[in-house]
Amino acid sequence: MATSLAGKSAIVTGAGSGINLAFARLLLGKQCNVLFADLALRPEAKEVVDTHSSASHSPARAVFQETDVREWPQLERMFHTAIKEFGGVDIVCPGAGIYEPPFSSFWHPPSSALSRDSPTSSRYASLDINLVHPIRTTQLAIAHFLSRPCSPSSSSGPFSIIHVSSIAAQLSPLLAPLYNASKHGLSGFVRTLARLDNPEQRIRVTAVAPGVIDTPLWRDNPEKLRLVDEAQGDWVSAEEVAEVMGSLVDGTDEVEVVSSTAEGGDGKGGTKKVKVEGGLILEVSKSRVRKVEQFNDEGPKGAGDMVGTRIVDEEIMGMLKSGEVGNAAVAKVARISVPAI
């Protein structure tokens, strides 16, 4: 049975748009205060924050904190601000992410024309945003939860940390190696923290693994849009993902998911109930929610699960053959003579 989110407070990174904005909206609709942590707010997000800026005009408040999630001091500041504004935090969603843009892409190495990753910084922005920031935010969230004077009662549900993984954690397209690596790592990270969901700590760490989502990350990027243009009717809405996220943080005991083939289902129509607990990862595709198993998982099968990467894969292979990847940076490295050890 779900518990009320009224009076609780949340931090959502990347809430300026997309899935995280939809999740922030859902929380506000359930009277849960939300700190929007992002570099900036799209107009629709700014409207939400403005509407919920005052407790006298709304049962829940929204506060915007400009945040570069690559910077750890700014992640710490999110918690300081939330404590100041709301008195504490009950739900944390480190949802900000990017889909391997040219400025931080495996196929555009540091020093190449399109990359903004410095060869002297020893880091990739893609990994800092998609993997390091969720890990560091989770550390901060756990420390905050354990410092709270009162743990949540059994009737109010546990503290929640919900991550945004991806079906890319189960797939391996050539297009986005850094993105895929970060999502594989994030799903593994969520599973390692499953045991925090116990009567003493009462910290539940879960994740959703969406398919192709109809968000500005895709709509506003022609290079990405061409990968899914033929299947736009199968896109998953941000609101569909947000609803599933809501069921993972509101104290719901069980959620309904599709049955696997091994369980006698066809992966489409048959359903079953699964317990909501730490380490749970739910794949969200078009009108379909599926539990991602740790072992022997069947993998994504539903509509809206995949993008058509064949054309881009062929382009990458062609660039590799011609030595054009990253303005020949990769080819240059390949030609360096390495002494035998």
Number of neighbouring beta carbons within 10 Å of residue 102: 13
- Could you say which DSSP state residue 168 is in? G
pLDDT of residue 334: 35
What values do phi and psi take at 273, rounded to 5?
-100, 135
Task: For residue range 103-145, list pLDDT tens digits in order.
Answer: 999 989 999 989 999 999 999 999 999 999 999 999 999 999 9
With CA atoms as reference, report the closest residue to 283 among 196, 189, 183, 198: 183
The span from the CA of 65 to the CA of 12, in Å, is: 10
Overall average pLDDT of the 272-298 stretch: 92
Q: Indicate whether 336 pLDDT > 50.
A: no
pLDDT of residue 202: 94
Give how far Cα 53 sits from Cα of 58, 85, 185, Å: 8, 11, 36
Model confidence band, residue 57 (pLDDT cutoffs 50, 70, 90) = confident
pLDDT of residue 340: 35
Overall average pLDDT of the 291-308 stretch: 76
Model confidence band, residue 49 (pLDDT cutoffs 50, 70, 90) = very high
Overall average pLDDT of the 209-223 stretch: 71
CA 100 to chain centroid, in Å, comes to 14
By CB neighbour count within 10 A (0-12 exposed, 13-18 middle, 19+ buried), where does 56 fall? Answer: exposed
With CA atoms as reference, report the closest residue to 183 among 203, 197, 163: 163
Task: For residue range 240-277, list pLDDT tens digits in order.
Answer: 999 999 999 998 899 999 976 555 555 555 899 999 99
Element (DSSP H or E) covering residue 35? strand 33-38
3-state secondary structure labels for all residues of 225-287: HHHHHHHHHHCEEHHHHHHHHHHHHCCCCEEEEECCHHHCCCCCCCEEEEECCCCCEEEEECC
The span from the CA of 311 to the CA of 234, in Å, is: 20
Structure tokens at 156: 């109010």
The span from the CA of 213 to the CA of 338, in Å, is: 44
Contact 8, 87 (CB under 8 A): no
Task: For residue range 166-210, list pLDDT tens digits in order.
Answer: 999 988 778 889 999 999 999 999 999 999 999 999 999 999 999
- List alpha helices for the chain, DSSP H: 18-29, 43-51, 72-86, 125-127, 133-147, 177-192, 216-219, 222-228, 238-249, 310-322, 329-335
Contacts of 250 (CB under 8 A, 6+ apart): 2, 3, 4, 5, 30, 157
Q: Indicate whether 9 pLDDT > 50.
A: yes
Widest pairwise Cα distance in the chain: 72
By CB neighbour count within 10 A (0-12 exposed, 13-18 middle, 19+ buried), where does 195 fall? Answer: exposed
Q: Indicate whether 62 pLDDT > 80.
A: yes
pLDDT mean across residues, the chain: 85
pLDDT of residue 22: 97
- Could you say which DSSP state residue 148 is in? S
pLDDT of residue 333: 37
Model confidence band, residue 233 (pLDDT cutoffs 50, 70, 90) = low
pLDDT of residue 331: 37
